[in-house]
Amino acid sequence: MNEENRLLREVLIRVAADYNALEMQIVQLSQQRRRHGHEIPRKTRWISDGCQWRKYGQKMAKGNPCPRAYYRCTMAGGCPVRKQVQRCAEDRSILTTTYEGNHNHPLPPPAMAMASTTSAAASILLSGSMPSGDGLMGGNFLTRTLMPFSSGMASISASSPFPTVTLDLTHAPSSNHFQRALLPSVAAATAANFNVPLQALPRRRKSSGRHSTIKQICRSTSLLPSTTG
């Protein structure tokens, strides 16, 4: 266990390093373009999750004055990813975003890089510490995994029935870039390790079929007004 933890730590540190490098590259590139007058258009600008979302519904919660919005990924035809966003009633600054399913198409480069690395980390973890008896994630070991990484800025917990990851970024620091990269990473990791055979449900309406689900609870620092996110 200790050995695995050490290994995991190294992997995570590596992830962090990769992310830092990528972010630096992005910043440099954007600055260069700004210098050259080639400002990145709003449309193709970086989106919160790295994907384009189309809103397809909104419902008012019964006892809450905060509506719930439903989005669908429009980056590729037939991308089964859905997303629903809900604001907390009392604390308007808290958003709860729920992603369901995994993308059908490649993600943007930074997210992809992070995703692959994170996936590798999760893979190592699974093969190493998991007794592989139940085949599913055995409790909170993903939590422990990403704990040193987050160290108070995010907590990850998983539930058994089907891949469900809950990120609580309520008190995250100013680096919300990190969140943007972390989210698709976790998504891809769960997709890679808990590859559920999509079970061709004939257009079921309810009962969010067997997909990996990711809940993200975060404060809306400046993230909320993201138009398509």
Partner DNA sequence: CGGTTTTGACCAGCGC
Partner DNA sequence: GCGCTGGTCAAAACCG
Please choose, out of 22-30, 61-69, 129-137, 138-146, the segment that lies near DNA by the rule CB under 7 A.
Answer: 61-69
Q: Which is nearer to DNA, 17 or 61 (CB)?
A: 61
Q: Which is nearer to Zn ion, 85 or 125 (CB)?
A: 85
Residues contacting Zn ion: total by CB under 5 A: 6
Burial class (CB in 10 A: 0-12, 13-18, 19+), 206: exposed
Kindly report the number of other CB atoms within 10 A of residue 170's CB atom: 14
- 131, two tokens: 């007794």
Interacting residue with DNA among 9, 32, 34, 57 (CB under 7 A): 57
Check residue 199 for interaction with DNA (CB under 7 A).
Answer: no
Longest CA span, the chain: 57
DSSP type of residue 217? E
Interacting residue with DNA among 54, 92, 105, 171 (CB under 7 A): 54
In this structure, are residues 111 and 135 in contact, taking their beta carbons and an 8 Å threshold?
no
- 46, two tokens: 């970086």
Each residue 62-91 as x (binds Zn ion by CB under 5 A) or -, in order, gives -----------x-x---x-x----------
What is the residue type of 192?
A
In this structure, are residues 166 and 158 in contact, taking their beta carbons and an 8 Å threshold?
yes
What is the residue type of 147?
M
What's the min distance (Å) between Cβ of 203 and DNA? 8
What's the min distance (Å) between Cβ of 56 and Zn ion? 14
Interacting residue with DNA among 9, 59, 92, 105 (CB under 7 A): 59
Residues paired with 157 in a beta bridge? 166
Residues contacting DNA: total by CB under 7 A: 25
Rounded distance, CA 9 to CA 12, Å? 5
Check residue 103 for interaction with Zn ion (CB under 5 A).
Answer: yes
Q: Which is nearer to DNA, 82 or 180 (CB)?
A: 82
Interacting residue with DNA among 2, 44, 62, 174 (CB under 7 A): 62
36, interface contact from DNA, Zn ion, none, CB < 5-8 Å by kind: none
Rounded distance, CA 210 to CA 80, Å? 12
81, interface contact from Zn ion, DNA, none, CB < 5-8 Å by kind: Zn ion
Q: Which of 180, 157, 179, 184 lies closest to 102, judged by CA?
A: 184
Check residue 214 for interaction with Zn ion (CB under 5 A).
Answer: no
Check residue 35 for interaction with DNA (CB under 7 A).
Answer: no
Rounded distance, CA 193 to CA 183, Å? 16
Can you give the binding site for Zn ion, defined by CB under 5 A? Answer: 51, 73, 75, 79, 81, 103
